[in-house]
Amino acid sequence: MFNFNTTAENLADPAMRSRIVLMTRAIIDAAAELRGDPDRAQRLLSEASGFALEDIRKSWKHHAFTAALPDDMLDVLVEQEIWLAQQENRQPRGREELARLIDTSVYEEAMALEPLRPRR
């Protein structure tokens, strides 16, 4: 699982927000392309990484490329916060405070856009 972070200031800036939404749409499109044409992606990855194509194909089942908002995102954030607070020698933030950090509006705006380029 990966997450993207920004600031309220960036989200309030129309130009920056637009760039963030377009980047999010591009990631959604790329994930769909990875799921739709894994052979092409695997070949490109092999060429770029130097890993054997067969090894990449064998490990592919361990990757989902969902580019979505998981239902358990807040639960995961709570778990990560406990670990992070220990590393930083502080008290972990509570579930309610962490919930306020999750803003799904950029993802929703990106999903409302047409794909940026047609699939190959």
Helices (H) and strands (E) counted in the chain, each on its own, are: 7, 0
Per-residue pLDDT band at 53 (split at 50, 70, 90): very high
* pLDDT beyond 70 at 120: no
Residue 117: pLDDT over 90: no
* Sign, Cα dihedral of 66, 69, 71, 74: positive
- CA–CA separation, 101 and 78 (whole Å): 11
Where is average pLDDT lowest: 14-18, 65-69, 116-120?
Answer: 116-120
Domain residue spans of the chain: 1-68+104-120, 70-102
pTM value is 0.79
Of 93 and 64, more confident: 93
